[in-house]
Structure formats: C-alpha cells, structure tokens
Structure 1
Amino acid sequence: MGQWPTNIRRPDGLGKNQGRTGRRAEKPTALDPDWNPRESGWTVDWQRHYAYLAQLLADGALLDDVVPRVTRHGEDVGRWLATQRRDFSKLNAEQQRRLGELGVKKTARAHKAPAKTAVASGPGKGGGALQKGVEALAQYIAREGRLPGRGGVQVLPDGTEHRTGIRLRNIKARHDRLDPAQLAPLAELGVHWAR
C-alpha cells in the first residue's frame, strides 16, 4: 500500500492524458490535499518531518524540547527542526507559514567574530610552537646528521610526533615575519635562509 503513493507521485504517475490525470488526482486529494508535496514545492521527506513535528507538539512536547536526537518513528525531528530554523529564509512562503503556525521561527544567527588580522610575530608571540619546532629540529639533526626532508618526523620526549620537515617549510614561508632573535636558533642549526 505504501508503494502506491510513491508511484502516483512520479511524473506521469497518474497517466499522460491531462484530463484523465486531473480526474485521477481527485481521489488522493480527497484523502489528503498534500498527497503530492512536490506540487507544493517541497519533498516527501520534508512533509514527513513536518508531520512528525506536529505530532510531537500535539502530544504535549514543547518546541524548545525538540532538539537534535529527538525522534519520531525513527526520524531525527530535532535535527530537521534545527535545519529549518537555520535555513528558514530558504523555505517557500507556504513552508514558512506552516512552520510559523507551529511556532517555529528563524534562528537568529550568531554574529561572526571579526576576521583575525595578521600580526607580525615578535618575541613571545607564537614562541612556544616555534621553540618546540626548534627543539624537534635539533633532535632530528642530531639523529640524522642533516636537515629533514618534507617527510621528516621527530618523536619528542613527551611521545608526540613532530612533523619536522613540514614545520620547517612552514617557518621558511613566513620567515620574513620573524625577528632576528627567533631566526638565530635556526641559523645555528645550519638553516641557511635563517641567517
């Protein structure tokens, strides 16, 4: 029985003859005016979740309690509701009206934090990461006797792996923003571009 609505919702599912299609559509429309949600501009999935939300509210749930992982018939209605609130302006007018009747409104978007501005590195700025990189580089050179290639990795005494080769290339890409005090330990290790 569940396959029948799916079949008649398909394009030409009620036939290709327009007159006959109209007559055939009268019966499912009498049962449910929303039997073919595509004609209203949304999917069966949207309509199913909308119906489940309406059922939850009719059963006494509060809208604020319908959060992600709140389900009905195995469908995550809470996650769907969060998406509808977030994308409210993308919904068509009828979808907005129907959700509005249930009390659903667009979620106020949080203000984005201003973009970080580039700050020239100086002593103390990012020094911890740079110092850790220099230590890893020194250990790598002591072990291998050379500067690392791109894939060079050094295991530090605390057990963490430091991708020394990639880190050295990242430092090189921004070495013009480092001050002489930050470049000196690299130069002492034989990094020519740090001189």
Structure 2
Amino acid sequence: MIAKWIKFQILDTERQDWTRGYDTARRYFDREGSLDVPYEHIENAYPLGRWLSDQRRAFRAGTMSSTRADELEELGMVWDTADTAFAENLAAARAYYAQAGTLAAPRHATALDKPVGQWLTNLRRPNGLGKDPERTARRAEQLAAIDPDWNPGQLGWTVDWQRHYTGLTALLEAGGTLDGITPGVTYRGDDIGRWLARQARDWTRPNPEQQRRLGKVGVKPAARPQKTAARTNTKARAAKGSDAFTRGVTALAQYIQREKKTVVGRHHVEELPDGTSVRLGVFLSNQKSRRDRLTEQQLAALAELGYHWTQ
C-alpha cells in the first residue's frame, strides 16, 4: 500500500509535471526557434523559465535520466550552468530596474531574493563578465538591453553618480522642480538635493557627457565669485596633484596587470618604464583616506581598476 501511495502521489505527479514542462518547452521552441527562455518567463501560466533552470540543475547533479536529457537536447536545450546562474540573476536585475529605473544599484540591493547589487558590482570588475569573448559580449548585450548605462565606469563616472542622476530625473518627471530639490530631498534613500547642489557648485568636475546630461534636465553651473590672481598658486598645486595621481594610477594598472591582483603591500614601490618610481602602497592609502575629495574622473579611474570603496 505504501509503495502504491508513493507511486501515485509522488512518482506519477513528478512525471506529470515533467511532461507538462516538456510540452510547454516544445511549444515555446516551435514558436521562438530556441529555448533561450528568461528565468522569470511565464508561458501560459506555467513557470517555464524556472522549470528549465531546474532541469539544468538535475542534469548537472546527474539525477536526470538519459532519456529525458536526450529529449531536451532534441529541442535545443543548452546545459551551460554558468549561463543558467547568470539568467537567474539577470531576472533579478530586470526586477530591480523596474523598481529603480537604473542598474546603478548599491551593493546591499536585492531583488527576487537575490543580492543583485553585489552581483552587478562583481560584473563591473575586470573580467567580471567572464573570460570568453563571445560570452562576455552576449552578457554585456543582455545587461545593456535592460539599462544602457549599467556600467557607468566605462562612461567615466561612478555608480553612485549614475544612481543620483537617475533619482534626479525621476523626481523631475514626477513633477518636481530644480529649485524645489534642495538638500534633504531624497529618492530611494539617496539625498538628491545635496548631490544636485554639489554638481552645480563643482561644475568643472563632471566630464563633458555628464555636463551634457545635467544640462539636458536644466542644471547649470552655480555662479562663482570673480577669479583673483591669488588663486594662481592654488591652481598650480592642483595641477601638480593631478599629475601625481595620473602617475599613481599608471603604476597601479601596471602592478595589477603583472600580479593579477589588487592587493598592494603598504611598502611596495612600483618602478615605471621612464625610470621613476611610485610608492604604490602609500598612494592607495592616501587616495582611500581622501576619497571624498577626489574628482568624479579620479573615482571612476580607481573603480575601473577594481577599487570599489570609491563608490
């Protein structure tokens, strides 16, 4: 009796579910020509994307019968487990974008019970999309289809800047005005008013594309007092500091390319091709301690090398 109960209540139910999933997958394939199904896709009230993901897990674990594997392969099933995990996280990214209007998510952000913020942070790091060129290009296209600006570092600014800019546009689209967005006005936890005031005050820091985007929504540089000759020395010191930063970043990129890591010893000295040297450990420590005074371009340069404490 127990054996019959197991057969009817468990085994037969499992077979019926598999048959329903297979039939749904076959109809999808007949219509679309592939089984490239988003994880969150629902086909005629059936969670086809999740079912296919479960089949890939069973195949990977070796619990799927060869008959079922053959039947799915005849439909064009792709067993790539790495792409399966990526597809599940991509579904979470779509859900987050639907709520926030951007993929510039903070690290702690979650969607569909997945740590989408940390996942996106990892993808933006060097080789974060994988080392296979074809797969990397495909994944980048999938992310860009959700948000063309998903990787702000490639545009020359930080994830934090992109998220605040999205918040500004959202507030304006909701009927807000630039005059009314003052420090203390927030969007999804970010103080957009304070950020807006800083953009207008430090207009020379954003790059030309950032300035174009700000100008598109009506932001203009704040009026500044007339320049005096006394500021000449200040500018000279700033230029010198900028040159030192450029040398530091050059040395850092050279070190990472050679050592394949971003951890630098405190006393490490990196020799440059021109015969000069940079105290790389000290340079990194100094940038981290003064990151609130770095320009957007400097923050983006460090983030591009994998130092995401700049965000």
TM-score tier by shorter-chain length is 0.5 to 0.7
Q: Does 1:36 align with 2:151?
A: yes
Q: Where do 1:58-97 residues align within 5 Å?
A: 58-97=173-212
Q: Where do 1:52-131 residues align within 5 Å?
A: 52-111=167-226
Aligned length: 115
Unaligned stretches of 5+ residues in structure 2: 1-113, 231-311
* In 1: Cα distance, 2:227 partner to 2:144 partner: 46
* In 2: Cα distance, 1:12 partner to 1:74 partner: 31
Q: Secondary structure at the match of 2:130?
A: coil
Change (3 A) 1:112 1:89: closer
Cα shift readout 1:13-51 (whole Å, capped 9, x = no counterpart):
101233331222110011110011111111110000000
Q: Specify the code of the residue in structure 2 equivalent to 1:97.
A: R
Change (3 A) 1:4 1:54: same
Q: Work out the percentage of aligned pairs sharing the same amino acid.
A: 59
Change (3 A) 1:96 1:113: closer
C-alpha displacement at 1:65, in angstroms?
1.0
Q: Where do 1:1-195 residues align within 5 Å?
A: 1=114, 2=116, 3-111=118-226
Unaligned stretches of 5+ residues in structure 1: 116-195
Which has the higher Rg, Structure 1 or Structure 2? 1
* In 2: Cα distance, 1:31 partner to 1:69 partner: 30
* In 2: Cα distance, 1:91 partner to 1:60 partner: 26
Q: Secondary structure at the match of 2:165?
A: helix
TM-score using structure 1 length: 0.55
* In 1: Cα distance, 2:229 partner to 2:137 partner: 56
Cα shift readout 1:76-119 (whole Å, capped 9, x = no counterpart):
1111001111111221111111111110011111347998xxxx
Q: Specify the code of the residue in structure 1 equivalent to 2:160.
A: D
RMSD of aligned C-alpha atoms? 1.9
Higher deviation after alignment, 56-65 or 85-94: 85-94
* In 2: Cα distance, 1:4 partner to 1:15 partner: 13
C-alpha displacement at 1:7, in angstroms?
1.9
TM-score using structure 2 length: 0.35
